[in-house]
Amino acid sequence: MLPAPQNYAIYPSVVPADIPVEMTIIPRERAFLLREGEEYQLCIISINDDEPSYYFPSARHELKAVAHNGILQFTDTFPEEQPHMIILSQGESKLAEWTVYSLREDLYSLRPLKGDLHSHSFRSDGKRDPAALAGHFREQGYEFFALTDHNRYYPGGEIDEVYQGVHMGLTRVYGEEVHAPDSVIHIVHVGGRESVAAKYLNHRAEYDRAVEEYMQRVPAHVPGQYHDRYAKAMWAVDQIHQAGGLAIFPHPFWRPAKSQNYNVRNDFARILLQSGMFDAYELVGGMGQAGNNQSVAMWADLRSEGLKISVVGSSDVHGIEKSATFRNLFTLCFAKENTNDAIVDAVKNGRSVAVEASGEGAERQYRCYGDFRLVSYAQFLLKHYYPQLQRICQGEGVAMRAYAMGEAEKELIELQAAQAENFSLRFLGKKPPVLPSAEILAFEEKWRDVQRSGPQTKGSGVNFPPVTMQI
């Protein structure tokens, strides 16, 4: 279920902290153009202000603004990094309520991006075509995803070829899931410019010689039973880094169907995470809820011991039809731009949050993991930004799948991608909102005159006095 329609929007909804910002309230529909020359009241509550009494709250301030050309504009300063509630009223009538978020410059300058860094297609053991899977992700409001088929880097190239020359809102991050020969350790490789799996698949003798050399470098504290797997993990991670990619340690509490044992023993998982070789930990993924709970608990223990590692959430999706993970496990990162390299940089430098979601509509809940500052901002985005963005992205995702089968033109995708981008830039304060044109203002005034001259009946509480008697 997508968000209910609202009569008004406020832009920007993400603002720089501690400096004056011009805010604009605009109608979402023509009938709700604000009345020319009339005064409206604004109540602004900074959520993290010190409030001495919740019985008689005083940590808020009031503003007045006069409507002109169907909109309201006012200037205010939003202190510190926190959410702020803004309530619009006229007289005794509350017309709208929003939350905006103020950020310090370092985070304000970055772009929030929603994505998945671990997914599979029909080219390995998944159930969906690679290009179609891209459309399914975009339909859910994703801005990036990595196709990480098992020991296969090339299926991502199918996506690039199908959509070559099409300007989309979804970035395809390079990827593969690396399984070194005779090792149960899986490593998700994202962002690198070449395949790592191809090296041991196509040049096995060279790989075997390299692993023998890495065996000599296994730290002394690693138990002997793990030496072979540890050496192969070191080799794979080094190759990923040489390719320019991220090495993500995934799903230690996954239980393969045949063995029913954990993919990696708990003590070995701790050793691998503490080794410093991995760039990120897939904190929540395709392990089932019990496995994800254990993963979060282990991460908490390791953090208390001083471990610092980026975290991501991934669906590890194979088939979306009955998947409990698709659209419910994902990553938010904060990047300079929506590109492969910028996303890699954001995750590598700790600017990512792992997210678990559950429920639908108003009951949808999010559990976010990462640094407190990023989690606080992520919670705001998941409630106020991403549901609106998804509403726009849905059509683009459907059009992508139709285009892949020759049933739509690329212009249909590009127009919707541009609409999504424009919304994002306005919400995030990087572009001014579109104001009502003179034609729209004249149109609404004409029809308001018609409404005024008609019978007295219940109608808009915004543009006319309340009616107490009806014909």
List 137's β-bridge partners, or say none. Answer: none
Per-residue pLDDT of the chain (471 residues; tens, 9 = 90+): 567 889 999 999 999 999 999 999 999 999 999 999 999 999 999 999 988 887 777 778 999 999 999 999 999 999 999 999 999 999 999 999 999 999 999 999 999 999 999 999 999 998 999 999 999 999 999 999 999 999 999 999 999 999 999 999 999 999 999 999 989 999 999 999 999 999 999 999 999 999 999 999 999 999 999 999 999 999 999 999 999 999 999 999 988 878 888 989 999 999 999 999 999 999 999 999 999 999 999 999 999 999 999 999 999 999 998 889 999 999 999 999 999 999 999 999 999 999 999 998 888 999 999 999 999 999 999 999 999 999 999 999 999 999 999 999 999 999 999 999 999 999 999 999 999 999 999 999 999 988 888 776 665 544 555 545 444
Do 237 and 278 touch, CB atoms closer than 8 A?
yes
- Over the stretch 5-32, which tens digit does the pLDDT of each residue have? 899 999 999 999 999 999 999 999 999 9
As a whole number of angstroms, the distance between CA 237 and CA 245 comes to 9
As a whole number of angstroms, the distance between CA 312 and CA 369 comes to 8
Q: How many CA atoms lie within 13 A of 304 on its CB side?
A: 6
- Over the stretch 256-308, which tens digit does the pLDDT of each residue have? 878 888 989 999 999 999 999 999 999 999 999 999 999 999 999 999 999 99
In terms of C-beta density within 10 A (0-12 exposed, 13-18 middle, 19 or more buried), how is residue 6 classed? middle
DSSP 402-434: HHHTTSS-HHHHHHHHHHHHHHHHHHTTSSPPP
CA nearest 187: which of 226, 148, 144?
148
What's this model's pTM, rounded to 2 decimal places? 0.94
As a whole number of angstroms, the distance between CA 246 and CA 159 comes to 20
CA nearest 412: which of 172, 165, 130, 166?
166
